Amino acid sequence: MKVAPSLLSCDFAKMGEEIVRVDKAGADLIHLDVMDGHFVPNLTIGPAIVKAVRPYTTLPFDVHLMIDYPLDYIDAFADAGADIITFHLESMSDPQTTIEKIKSRGVKPGVVIKPGTPADVVYPYLEKVDMVLVMTVEPGFGGQAFMEDMMPKVTAIKAEIQKRGLDVLVEADGGISEATAAIASKAGVDVCVSGTGIFKAKDAAEAIRILKNA
């Protein structure tokens, strides 16, 4: 699997240095969790922070929008330096319009589903996106337990992508660590997000290596 450390678990006072740390440790992408206090009951970072930390790495920025109206903020996150923008199909913005808006800014679009949302909700968008993100915790907070019962959704989405001959990555987010990575990998996850599993590990490079080889 490719590994995307989630900055949600980093030292926010040293975000730039934390990015450099996981870049050197072998990260493939940097995952940035954007929360608005409405779509999820937590507030995190906005476009100003994304822009401020952008110069610390050349790794792609994988921006995960957990906000009610993602369409209204695509320009701001594109300007801030996002390479991939994923948004929830449970949000208020029209998915088709949001995907087109992301593409129009030269950014790769992805759709995300919460644990309660069935796999087939993403099927109408598979031809139009670069990534599908399957949440393996309820979005909102880091450090929660991995929901293994989301793996059938990963497998089903992977099969549908392969059946249609598409080049779409399946990402999983939440509770992925040394203990659960093999389960995700076996189910077909291409990119795993890990926050506490990497930033709270003694050795980030070792944690990333274990996830990659799971």
Active site residue 23: no
Shortest approach of Zn ion to residue 74 CB, angstroms? Answer: 17
Side chain identity at 128, as an amino acid letter? K
CB-nearer residue toward Zn ion: 33 or 130: 33
* Segment lying near Zn ion (by CB under 5 A), choices 58-66, 95-103, 122-130, 145-153: 58-66
Given Zn ion, ligand DX5, none, residue 174, with its beta carbon under 5 to 8 Å by kind, binds ligand DX5
Choose, from 28, 33, 36, 130, the residue flagged as catalytic: 33
- Is 68 noted as a catalytic residue in this protein? no
- Cβ neighbours of 148 (radius 10 Å): 13
Closest approach of Cβ 112 to ligand DX5, in Å?
9
Long-range contacts of 48-54 (CB under 8 A, 24+ apart): 48/80, 49/15, 50/77, 50/80, 50/81, 50/82, 51/79, 51/80, 51/81, 52/15, 52/16, 53/7, 53/15, 53/16, 53/19, 54/80, 54/81
The strand pairing partners of 73, in sequence order, are none
- Residues in contact with ligand DX5 by CB under 6 A are 6, 8-9, 31, 33, 64, 137, 139-140, 142-144, 173-176, 193-197
